[in-house]
Structure 1
Amino acid sequence: MTAMSQARPVVQTEGKFSIAPVKGATTILQGAIVVMDAGLAVPGKTAVGLVVLGVADQGVNNAGADGAKKVTTERGVFKVFNLPADPILAGDVGKDAYLVDDQTVAKTNGGNTRSVAGKIINVDADGVFVRLGY
């Protein structure tokens, strides 16, 4: 591209929401942690190499082919469940939380089997607040 020679309209987005194609034969529930897996949105799960988009703004049932439906996700700090077998503690604030499923995080990467979910913001008796989304 060459440098601008005249004014142009500014196109901007808040950067809080994303829209991604959903994997075929996949249901994502409202409020679920959503990840990108091989270029398609799926519910959060234990696997490596996943990118967390955020939480699903609405539920989506893609009974069709890959990408036939899209999911809107929101980035931010959300309360999720803390895995009792690998709990996040108050001293872990500021560290990475690791993805277990579409509503649960853990303290460790599970022997290199879990992707990073996001940063731990706060811990309370019934959950963990994690900054989710790239």
Structure 2
Amino acid sequence: MALAQDRMTKRRAGDRFNDPVAAATTIYTGALVVLDASGNAAPGSTATGLKARGLCTERADNSSGAAGDIGVETETGVFCFANSAGADEIDRSDIKGTAYIVDDETVAATDGSSSRSAAGVIEDVDDAGVWVRIGA
């Protein structure tokens, strides 16, 4: 129903989230975090159907818990990840293209013959690694 009076609308900056952690899972600080098909957080891995959520800001150890027993704090933005190698190595010609998830700290230039999910947009490549925008 449309507003008929003023409303105090809640606001989030949209750069920090807290998601339930998948069962029997540990997510380390600095890891690329994804949401699985159930909406639970997990470390990035080579798989399809994952949604990049952000970077883990504090370790979440749910190794002996059920899904959702704890949450993980994530942050969106531009982060530096390790570069894949060989044909999957990202170079400067890939800037503004899509980076694909290899694991929770590595990204690649290709989807690995449709076996990898997207991490985000490649913003830069330098000696430190690949700078990827997640969640924008």
TM-score range, shorter chain: over 0.9
Identity of aligned residues (%): 46
Choose from 125, 128, 131 the match for 1:129.
Answer: 131
Could you tell me whether the CA contact under 8 Å between 2:80 and 2:131 is conserved in 1?
yes
Could you tell me whether the CA contact under 8 Å between 2:48 and 2:114 is conserved in 1?
yes
Could you tell me whether the CA contact under 8 Å between 2:80 and 2:128 is conserved in 1?
no
Instruction: Give the match's secondary structure for 2:53.
Output: strand
Query: TM-score normalized by structure 1?
Result: 0.94
Displacement of 1:24 after TM fit?
Answer: 1.3
Letter in 1 for 2:46: T
Letter in 2 for 1:74: E
Instruction: Give the match's secondary structure for 2:80.
Output: strand
Query: TM-score normalized by structure 2?
Result: 0.93
Displacement of 1:6 after TM fit?
Answer: 2.3
User: Cα RMSD between the aligned structures?
Assistant: 1.1
Could you tell me whether the CA contact under 8 Å between 1:82 and 1:126 is conserved in 2?
no
Could you tell me whether the CA contact under 8 Å between 2:33 and 2:74 is conserved in 1?
yes
Displacement of 1:133 after TM fit?
Answer: 2.4
Q: Which residue number corresponds to residue 40 of structure 2?
A: 40
Q: Which residue number corresponds to residue 60 of structure 1?
A: 60
User: CA–CA distance in 2 between the matches of 1:105 and 1:12?
Assistant: 32
Could you tell me whether the CA contact under 8 Å between 1:120 and 1:130 is conserved in 2?
yes
The total of aligned residue pairs comes to: 133
User: CA–CA distance in 2 between the matches of 1:51 and 1:60?
Assistant: 18
Q: Which residue number corresponds to residue 117 of structure 1?
A: 119
Instruction: Give the match's secondary structure for 2:65.
Output: coil
Letter in 1 for 2:34: V
Q: Which residue number corresponds to residue 24 of structure 2?
A: 25
User: CA–CA distance in 1 between the matches of 2:83 and 2:77?
Assistant: 18
User: CA–CA distance in 2 between the matches of 1:3 and 1:76?
Assistant: 34
